[in-house]
Amino acid sequence: MTAEGIIVKMPVSLDARTARYQLRLEQPRPSVGAPPKDFTEIDLNAWVGRPIRIEHTGGYTCTRCGRHVQKLFGEGFCYPCLRDAPEAAECIVKPELCEAHLGRGRDPAWEDAHHNQPHAVYLAVTSAVKVGVTRKTQIPTRWIDQGAAWAVQIAEVPYRQLAGRIEVALKALYTDRTAWQRMLKGETLEGIDLAGEIDTVAAHLAGSDLAPYLHPAAAEDRVDISYPLRTAPEKVKSTGLQKQPVIEATLEGIRGQYLIFEGGTVFNMRRHAGFVVHVEL
Output the pLDDT for position 191: 84
**Ordered DSSP codes for 205-273:** HTTSTTGGGBPP--GGG-EE-B--BSS--SS-EEE-TTT-SEEEEEEEEEETTEEEEGGGEEEESGGGT
Distances, alpha carbon 27 to alpha carbons 39, 59, 79, 222, in Å = 6, 13, 21, 38
Q: Above pLDDT 70, what percent of the chain?
A: 100
Give the separation between CA 47 and CA 10, rounded to whole angstroms. Answer: 15
Output the pLDDT for position 218: 77
Query: Tens digit of pLDDT for each residue in 52-84?
Result: 999 999 999 999 999 999 999 999 999 999 999
Pick the more confident residue, 179 or 220: 179
pLDDT for 261 beyond 80:
yes
Output the pLDDT for position 187: 83
Model confidence band, residue 219 (pLDDT cutoffs 50, 70, 90):
confident
Query: Tens digit of pLDDT for each residue in 139-161?
Result: 999 999 999 999 999 999 999 99
Region for 249 from its dihedrals, namely left if φ exceeds 0, alpha if ψ lies in -120 to 50, beta otherwise:
beta
Residues in Cβ contact with 196 at an 8 Å cutoff, skipping those fewer than 6 apart: none
Mean confidence (pLDDT) of the chain: 95
Give the separation between CA 91 and CA 106, rounded to whole angstroms. Answer: 10
Output the pLDDT for position 176: 93
Domain ranges of the chain: 2-85+229-280, 87-224
Output the pLDDT for position 216: 85
Query: Tens digit of pLDDT for each residue in 165-218?
Result: 999 999 999 999 999 999 999 887 788 898 899 999 999 999 999 999 998 887
Query: Tens digit of pLDDT for each residue in 26-35?
Result: 999 999 999 9
Output the pLDDT for position 43: 96
In terms of Cβ atoms closer than 10 Å to its own Cβ (0-12, 13-18, 19+), residue 141 is: middle
31 phi/psi in degrees, rounded to 5: -165, 160
Give the separation between CA 234 and CA 160, rounded to whole angstroms. Answer: 38
